[in-house]
Structure 1
Amino acid sequence: MTIKLVIFDCDGVLVDTEPTTNIVIAENLSRYGLEISFEEVDTLFVGGTMAGVMTTARDMGATLPDGWLEEIYSEMFAALSKGVEVFDDVHLFLDQLDAAGIATAIASNGPPKKMAISLTPSGLIGRFADRVYSGHDYIPKPDPAMIHHAMQIAGVTPAETVFIDDSPTGASAGIAAGVRTFGFDPSGSFAYLARVDVEKVRSMREIAALIGVVMPPD
């Protein structure tokens, strides 16, 4: 079946925001009595929502105030506004998808404002126009609601759709939606993705080859 839609997660797939946000979360939680490293933040919370982080952190002993979500997002946005790295060949892959007439979308658990901040400096936000879907507007992953919505808007079937995510939570949404799902980890360790039965890839070039999209040579 010809691929007609590629859906991307945002953080950890298009842009490398997670090192920045993990440090912000770890430093913030330490102020509320929960000493945790940024590596532990990644292990505990990867792919989830900040509301979920708040609940888990409280269960672990953090004395978080009721307005904590507003506080942590403000700190994250300030850190991300300083700039984040775009993963290798993302722009080139999008160019080739456009040339092949393959639609694209984003399905992320992050809030729209966070995506705008992290994707605007590189111009990525404009490449997806109004096809940016957030778990703050739909049921968040691992529920497949955003993926179903993206397919409905694009007018495609699950067999014509590919989804790319870097976390077991996100990848589970792709599996639940019945679409071909790639687990993305440029490091090649796939430590978190080992928990889900997805095709594991290290680069956009690898994904392109697997779905029959020709990329220019390096």
Structure 2
Amino acid sequence: MKPGNIRPYRAVLFDFDDTLIDTREALTRVSEHWYATRPRENRPPTEEEFIAGLQVTNSEQLSLRDFYVRMLEIWPGCFPSVEAALEAHSVAVPDCVSVDRGTEVMLRDLKVAGVPVGVVTNGPTEMQWAKVRNAGVADLVRAVVVSEEFGANKPDPAIFHHALSLIGASPAETLFVGDNTVADIGGASGIGMRTAWMSHGRSWVIDSYSPDHVVDDVWDVRPLLGI
């Protein structure tokens, strides 16, 4: 902690996808992998054209299933079905995931400062754990809670309370950082946590609740945590 700073929060919980990691970048990498390795029949003429057709804008809330539906529309025959694509994705995507240097430094600084840090992520157990480990995050936080493994998805209050118990913190003293307006910000604020919304250039449009902080980059969370 910087000299003279009073840390406003004693602990922090992070969402994983599109908060600690850039999911869009990972999708681009895995798409490049498919372009190079899948059967070439009906393949778009260039990798650039293929990737451009798959680009997800910041305003889109596109599920992984929707992403592969779009892929098969652009490239019929890339996979025999959406289900087959999703199964292949769960194996390939962990190798395409990384955290940027700034995020890694922030997590290391929080660990050195003794700030309890955890990750709460929705998704399949095996895939999410592989992503967290491959990104190097597992060794930098006190707890990782994956929705399938726990048995409830964000915004269910139970998953937040479980994560808090693992890092030894209360809602009132913990900041939650995430990009999803409902699962992250709605869920965390609903149990009394303060929240920081990763806006990714979006505007807040919900009237019934709002984040305590809006950040454009996870690095912007540092001053909120007194580091």
Whether TM-score is above 0.5 comes out as yes
Could you list the per-position Cα deviations for residues 156-198 of structure 1 after superposition, in whole angstroms to 9, with x for gaps in the alignment? 221210111111122211111210111114x4x124x443611
**2:23 equivalent among 10, 13, 17:** 17
3-state SS, counterpart of residue 97 of structure 1: helix
Q: Give yes or no for the alignment of 1:118 onto 2:135.
A: no
Matched AA of 2:127: K
Could you list the per-position Cα deviations for residues 40-87 of structure 1 after superposition, in whole angstroms to 9, with x for gaps in the alignment? 8972446xxx7xx68xx9xxxxxxxxxx89645422223414422414
How far is 1:9 from its partner?
Answer: 0.6
Identity of aligned residues (%): 23
In the aligned structure 2, how far is the partner of 1:4 from the partner of 1:120? 25
3-state SS, counterpart of residue 96 of structure 2: coil
Taking a change above 3 Å as real, the CA distance of residues 144 and 21 of structure 1, as seen in their structure-2 partners, is farther
* Alpha carbons 1:15, 1:119 under 8 Å: kept: no
Matched AA of 1:210: L
How far is 1:153 from its partner?
Answer: 2.5
Q: Which has the larger radius of gyration?
A: 2
**2:102 equivalent among 69, 72, 89:** 89
* Alpha carbons 1:143, 1:176 under 8 Å: kept: no
In the aligned structure 2, how far is the partner of 1:202 from the partner of 1:96? 20
Taking a change above 3 Å as real, the CA distance of residues 120 and 156 of structure 1, as seen in their structure-2 partners, is closer
Matched AA of 1:6: V
TM-score by length of 1: 0.69
Taking a change above 3 Å as real, the CA distance of residues 97 and 41 of structure 1, as seen in their structure-2 partners, is closer
The alignment of Structure 1 onto Structure 2 pairs a total of residues equal to 182
TM-score by length of 2: 0.66
In the aligned structure 2, how far is the partner of 1:21 from the partner of 1:144? 29
The answer for unaligned runs of 5 or more in structure 1 is: 25-35, 58-67
Q: Give yes or no for the alignment of 1:98 onto 2:104.
A: no
Could you list the per-position Cα deviations for residues 85-126 of structure 1 after superposition, in whole angstroms to 9, with x for gaps in the alignment? 414511111122112211111111122222233232332122
Q: Give yes or no for the alignment of 1:145 onto 2:158.
A: yes
Q: Give yes or no for the alignment of 1:108 onto 2:125.
A: no
Q: Give yes or no for the alignment of 1:39 onto 2:56.
A: yes
**1:190 equivalent among 179, 197, 202:** 202
- Equivalent residue number for residue 174 of structure 1: 188
In the aligned structure 2, how far is the partner of 1:202 from the partner of 1:180? 17
3-state SS, counterpart of residue 89 of structure 1: helix
The answer for unaligned runs of 5 or more in structure 2 is: 1-6, 32-52, 70-80
Taking a change above 3 Å as real, the CA distance of residues 118 and 167 of structure 1, as seen in their structure-2 partners, is same
In the aligned structure 2, how far is the partner of 1:8 from the partner of 1:148? 14
**2:147 equivalent among 126, 135, 150:** 135
